[in-house]
Amino acid sequence: MGIVSVLDSHLISRRMPSLRALLLPAGVLHLCYGLVTLAVFPLPAGVGIWPVLAAAASGILRTVAVLLMFNLLTREEVSRVVPVVYTYPVLVAIMAVPLLGETLGYLQWLAILVVVAGAVIISVEKRPPGVTGSVGRPFLLLFVSSLCIALGDIASKYALNTISFWNGFSLAAICMSVIFLLFSLRPQVLRSLRDMPRRNSSLGLLLFNEAIAPVGIVCSFWAIERGPVSLVSTIVGSRPIFVAVYSLILGRFLPDFLIKSTSKGVLVVRLMATAMIVGGIAIIYLM
């Protein structure tokens, strides 16, 4: 999924004519994935309506999170966007206290502060000398995206107590594809895809990316079905470290592959802040 985030950023900022132009073929592919897996792995007999609604709600919440993240990737660095979104395990921990009766120790609450501090460090905008940075609207949108993923994980755990992880994936994929297609299926989008430069190579890269994404999604549903959702969220929350490493490597060998508007010093600070986020998340659940 770290690779998927990097390729998403490249496609949105360097290849596709618009965000809608990326969502249209992605929506078609995910609709195929969802329908095929639902046909091969149908819902269990006698399943109630609530697990199905929970799985659909999970798909809708994740789609909202993806749309917010994609929107910000059109103008922000992937190494800045992804770490903030992936603070969502902290939100799971906070919600688990009143909803599930779980408790957190002092060290774990301290870890929450460390994670939030890391997210703020990454999201502070670079301003001219003498002007103070600010978190601003992008950080708030990233927080909403993070909250949607956290709620989606909780809904998935409820649903996967009754249905299989393949069912969870298929329903989520169908919901995501429907929203993507409603958002992007426009005549002008079809024309932009037809007339885009480097069309074959760009669509080939998109196809490759959308072939990787279901693997990561299915693995996460498989893990949520079999283990504590908090622990699964922690492991999935390590994505920012991979994104940061991939971004640094690409910045060295393919400097035009991603949006790059910061100095090496700022990248080092963001890498340290990413480590704070992942380290804090690990403390929350593993201590």
Q: How far apart are CA 117 and CA 121, in angstroms?
A: 6
What number is the average pLDDT over the span 201-221? 93
Per-residue pLDDT at 145 exceeds 70: yes
Q: What is the pTM (predicted TM-score) of this model?
A: 0.80
| Predicted local confidence at residue 181, as pLDDT | 95
What is the pLDDT, as a whole number, of residue 78? 65
Of 115-129, 173-187, 219-233, highest mean pLDDT:
173-187
Q: What is the pLDDT of residues 26-68, one digit of tens each?
A: 999 999 999 999 999 999 988 889 999 999 999 999 999 989 8
User: CA torsion angle for 179, 55, 147, 30 (degrees, to 10)?
Assistant: -40
DSSP 8-state class, residue 35:
H
Answer with the residue of higher pLDDT: 26 or 234: 26
Task: Name the residue ranges covered by the structural domains of the chain.
Answer: 2-286
Q: What is the mean pLDDT of residues 165-176?
A: 95
pLDDT above 90: percentage of residues in the chain: 37
Residue 256's pLDDT band (boundaries 50, 70, 90)? confident
Q: Whose CA is closest to 279, among 54, 114, 36, 40?
A: 114
